[in-house]
């Protein structure tokens, strides 16, 4: 999240950033004692987890792995080969990770038009690189608290370290050879295997992503068109949209991530996705819409050259023209920003983009401060498959809760628990479009009205149906929280109660064309809009669209008691306790929340940097080597560089 809202909390975050590391904790404790004493939050009594820092020297096959939370003195410690200069030698080699369909297989070709292989250059000599994972997990690695690899279908038996993940995109080789360096002081035992498999690596200076991406899509055009042969499935097209802005600094680490996205999502999938940079031009006085040269110059000054061909500019001025005033009947505007500001309507630009690019079936709204250790195609594909399998019955109710497998059991157990709680609740479950008093709404699509009653449905409706909205935090009812923006609603009459709403914190999500069309029409035809985190979920709720929260693995820095965690995150005793309102401090030690402090610490240490005087090259060499994390989605990562020693 790039927006000013973060500033409100920045002091708080800076304070807690220190708390997640022991060194920082002591420093702050002393300060706290000297100045204004602060009561420790209850979760601070849980002990710090350390399994994350276990490196490649401690790798064991997944079948032998015992998570830190379940470890005891009798769990066998892996035998570690150690070399004083290069660190702990990994017990086995990394392997290329391939999450794609078997494009050449008989089964694939029976059901699809053939995938045409794509290249990075016009002459088709530069093949897109693979990435490499270790087939194991460091012994005693911490297990996630929320979400599940198994449930989502993500590989749970591999881990990623910085060479296998990013050397294919330039990590660890010189700028003169088209890389980004960054690994001079890095612990690197075993990394030579990655470079051998990369066979020299790619000179990224030669790549023009716009050209490469377009060529790949064009070559594979037949796969995305309606299929003449009824046995063949059309492959959907998806836009992966990075929300950036003028003045954004593209650090070398960031280049690695964007290259990974384009290579893994577009080039290697035969053009299934297009990666776009949607660039917010903050200075509305630049006449970008008047003069093509000024547009180009603004783009070139604000985006690295290799991405010029995938960038689209927009400005708040354009949004004022596209969605003209008025947006009357505002319930509450705590931020005091105008309705067309990116702060209050970040979705306007996305809606506009979806109308300008109607060729896509799905649009991923992605922020610049997200990072992922795993493979992008695997993540997107598995999350979408999982969402497609979800039945409509209980969907909104399950999506409102964090799934804690060690507490809730299997997904089926969790679904049963939610059903029971729904039965006991006073509220009726969501079933089709929502009816509420209003002074005008668009008609909901006929296919979204339930085919049978809630009681008669045996978890059948919606199974196999693509999700219109996939979020990465729960879809909660803001009236049960004191989330500050819960009443920032426009265009619904003030004579009736506020419409029912849902919110998912952090706007990253996958939205269908259908949902974006509804959001667009509701905006310009009915003058309806809400705060960005609230608008897509609420629009989906009103029109009976399929919205789910995907329970991806989320880690915590401390060993929370799971009963307590379930109570705090899923059943706050009063409105003010909600973890989306004043209880937000409970999220500070998480790997994925909008203001979490632990995410950045974990990510930078994974890259080999020191945090709070811990980690760094020396510690890696004398310890168990560089970190090897399982596929993890991080947010927010505000910066990536740190000291190595």
Ligand X SMILES: *[C@@H]1O[C@H](CO)[C@@H](O)[C@H](O)[C@H]1NC(C)=O
Residues interacting with ligand X, by CB under 6 A? 50-51, 66, 68, 71-72, 74-75, 77, 139-140, 416, 419-420, 423, 442, 455, 517-518, 521
- Alpha-carbon distance of 516 to 512, in angstroms, equals 6
- What's the rounded Cα separation, in Å, for the pair 82 and 622? 9
Task: Look up residue 476 and give its two tokens.
Answer: 């909660």
Nearer to ligand X, 458 or 573 (CB): 458
Q: Are 518 and 525 in contact (CB under 8 A)?
A: no
Residue 47 C-beta: closest distance to ligand X, Å: 8
Nearest-CA neighbor of 404 among 632, 569, 596?
569
Rounded CA separation 577/574 (Å):
5
Tell me if residue 471 falls in helix, strand or coil: strand
Measured CA to CA, the distance from residue 65 to residue 60 in angstroms comes to: 6
Put residue 270 in one of left, alpha, beta given phi > 0 → left and psi -120 to 50 → alpha: left
Q: Which of 75, 80, 74 is nearest to 54 (CA)?
A: 80
Name which of 271 and 615 has its Cβ closer to ligand X: 615
Q: Tell me the closest approach of the beta carbon of residue 482 to ligand X, in angstroms.
A: 31
Which one, 611 or 640, has the nearer CB to ligand X? 611
Between 517 and 614, CB nearer to ligand X: 517
Least distance (Å) from ligand X to the CB of residue 558? 12
Query: Between 66 and 548, whose beta carbon lies closer to ligand X?
Result: 66
* Distance from C-alpha of 444 to C-alpha of 68, rounded to nearest angstrom: 49
CB of 540 vs ligand X, minimal distance in Å: 12
> Cβ of residue 50: shortest distance to ligand X, in angstroms?
4
Return the number of the residue (286 or 395) whose C-beta is nearest ligand X: 395
Concatenating the DSSP letter of every residue in 234-262 gives: PPP-EEEEEEEETT----HHHHHHHHHHH
Closest distance of CB 448 from ligand X, Å: 11
Cβ closer to ligand X: 50 or 333?
50
Residue 542 CB, nearest approach to ligand X (Å): 12
> How does DSSP classify residue 407?
H
CA pair distance 396, 326, nearest whole angstrom: 32
DSSP letter string over 121-149? STTS-SPPPP-EEBSSEETTPPPPSB--H
Residue 488 and residue 344 in contact, taking contact as beta carbons nearer than 8 Å: yes
Q: How far is the CB of 22 from ligand X (least distance, A)?
A: 12
Phi, psi of 49 (to 5 degrees): -90, 145
Q: Residues 470, 548: contact at Cβ < 8 Å?
A: yes
Omega prior to 636 cis, within 30 of 0: yes
Please give the torsion angle defined by the CA atoms of residues 223, 360, 366 and 368, in that order, rounded to the nearest 10 degrees.
80
Nearest distance, CB of residue 73 and ligand X, angstroms: 7
Q: Structure tokens of 117? A: 């292989």
Secondary structure (3-state) at 488: coil
Pick between residue 74 and residue 336 the one whose CB is nearest to ligand X: 74
Nearest residue (CB) to ligand X, 420 versus 576: 420
Q: Given the complex with ligand X, which of 313 and 539 has the nearer CB atom?
A: 539
- Cβ 575 to ligand X shortest distance, Å: 26
The CB-of-626 to ligand X minimum distance in angstroms stands at 17
Residues 6+ positions from 640 with CB-CB distance below 8 Å: 251, 253, 254, 603, 604, 607
Q: What's the token pair of residue 628?
A: 């090897």
Nearer Cβ to ligand X (316/397): 397
At closest approach, how far in Å is the CB of 528 from ligand X? 12
Considering the complex, state which of residue 143 and residue 311 has its C-beta at the smaller distance from ligand X. 143
Q: How far is the CB of 43 from ligand X (least distance, A)?
A: 18
Work out how close the CB of 437 gets to ligand X at its nearest, in angstroms, rounded to a whole number.
Answer: 21
Closer CB to ligand X, residue 34 or residue 423? 423
| Residue number with CB closer to ligand X (28 or 416) | 416
DSSP letter string over 253-286?
Answer: HHHHHHHHHHHHHTGGGTSSEEEEEEEE---TTS
Rounded CA-CA distance 494/515 in Å is 25
> From the CB of 519, what's the least distance to ligand X, in Å?
9
Nearer Cβ to ligand X, position 20 or 216? Answer: 20
What is the DSSP-derived secondary structure letter of residue 494?
T
List the one residue out of 323, 310, 245 whose CA is nearest residue 284.
245
- C-alpha 125/C-alpha 119 separation (Å) is 7
Contact 303, 310 (CB under 8 A): no
Contacts (Cβ under 8 Å, ≥6 apart) of 38: 32
């Amino acid at each position: 999240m790039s927006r000013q809202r973060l500033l409100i909390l920045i002091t708080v975050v800076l304070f807690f950033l220190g708390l997640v590391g022991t060194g920082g904790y002591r420093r702050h404790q002393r300060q706290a004692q000297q100045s204004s004493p602060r009561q420790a939050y209850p979760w601070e009594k849980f002990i710090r987890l350390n399994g994350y820092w276990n490196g490649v020297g401690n790798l064991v096959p997944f079948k032998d792995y015992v998570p830190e939370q379940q470890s005891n003195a009798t769990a066998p410690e892996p035998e570690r080969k150690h070399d004083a200069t290069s660190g702990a030698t990994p017990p086995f080699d990394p392997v290329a990770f391939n999450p794609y369909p078997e494009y050449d297989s008989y089964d694939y070709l029976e059901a699809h038009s053939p995938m045409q292989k794509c290249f990075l250059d016009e002459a088709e000599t530069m093949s897109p690189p693979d990435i490499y994972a270790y087939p194991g997990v460091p012994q005693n690695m911490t297990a996630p608290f929320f979400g599940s690899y198994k449930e989502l279908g993500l590989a749970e038996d591999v881990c990623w370290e910085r060479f296998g993940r990013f050397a294919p995109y330039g990590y660890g080789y010189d700028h003169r050879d088209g890389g980004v360096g960054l690994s001079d002081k890095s612990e690197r035992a075993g990394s030579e295997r990655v470079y051998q498999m990369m066979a020299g690596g790619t000179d990224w200076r030669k790549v023009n992503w716009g050209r490469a991406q377009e060529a790949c899509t064009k070559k594979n055009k037949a796969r995305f068109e309606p299929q003449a042969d009824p046995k063949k499935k059309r492959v959907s097209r998806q836009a992966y949209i990075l929300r950036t802005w003028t003045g954004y600094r593209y650090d070398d680490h960031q280049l690695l991530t964007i290259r990974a996205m384009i290579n893994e999502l577009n080039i290697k999938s035969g053009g299934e996705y297009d990666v776009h940079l949607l660039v917010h031009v903050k200075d509305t006085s630049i006449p970008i819409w008047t003069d093509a040269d000024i547009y180009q110059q603004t783009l070139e000054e604000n985006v690295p050259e290799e991405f010029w061909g995938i960038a689209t500019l927009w400005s708040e001025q354009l949004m004022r023209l596209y969605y003209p005033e008025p947006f009357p009947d505002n319930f509450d505007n705590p931020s005091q920003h105008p309705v067309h500001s990116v702060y209050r309507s970040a979705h306007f630009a996305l809606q506009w983009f979806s109308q300008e690019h109607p060729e896509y079936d799905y649009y991923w709204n992605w922020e610049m401060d997200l990072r992922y250790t795993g493979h992008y195609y695997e993540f997107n594909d598995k999350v979408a498959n999982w969402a497609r399998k979800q039945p409509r019955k209980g969907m909104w109710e399950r999506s409102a809760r964090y799934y804690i497998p060690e507490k809730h059991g299997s997904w089926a157990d969790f679904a049963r628990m939610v059903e029971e709680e729904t039965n006991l609740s006073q509220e009726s479950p969501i079933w089709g479009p929502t009816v509420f008093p209003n002074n005008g709404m668009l008609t909901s699509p006929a296919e979204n009205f339930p085919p049978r009653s809630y009681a008669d449905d045996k978890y059948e409706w919606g199974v196999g149906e693509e999700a219109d909205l996939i979020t990465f935090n729960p879809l909660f009812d803001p009236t049960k929280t004191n989330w500050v923006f819960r009443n920032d609603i426009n265009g619904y009459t003030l004579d009736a109660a506020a419409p029912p709403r849902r919110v998912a914190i952090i706007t990253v999500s996958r939205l269908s064309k259908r949902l974006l069309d509804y959001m667009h029409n509701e905006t310009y035809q009915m003058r309806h809009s809400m705060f960005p985190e609230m608008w897509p979920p609420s629009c989906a709720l009103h029109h009976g669209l399929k919205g789910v929260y995907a329970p991806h693995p989320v880690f915590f820095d401390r060993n929370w008691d799971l009963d307590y965690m379930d109570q705090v995150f899923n059943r706050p005793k009063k409105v003010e306790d909600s973890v989306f309102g004043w209880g937000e401090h409970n999220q500070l030690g998480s790997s994925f929340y909008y203001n979490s402090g632990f995410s950045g610490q974990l990510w930078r240490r994974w890259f080999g940097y020191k945090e709070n005087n811990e980690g760094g090259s020396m510690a890696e060499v004398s310890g168990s080597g560089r970190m090897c994390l399982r596929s993890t989605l991080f947010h927010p990562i505000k910066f990536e560089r740190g000291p190595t020693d």
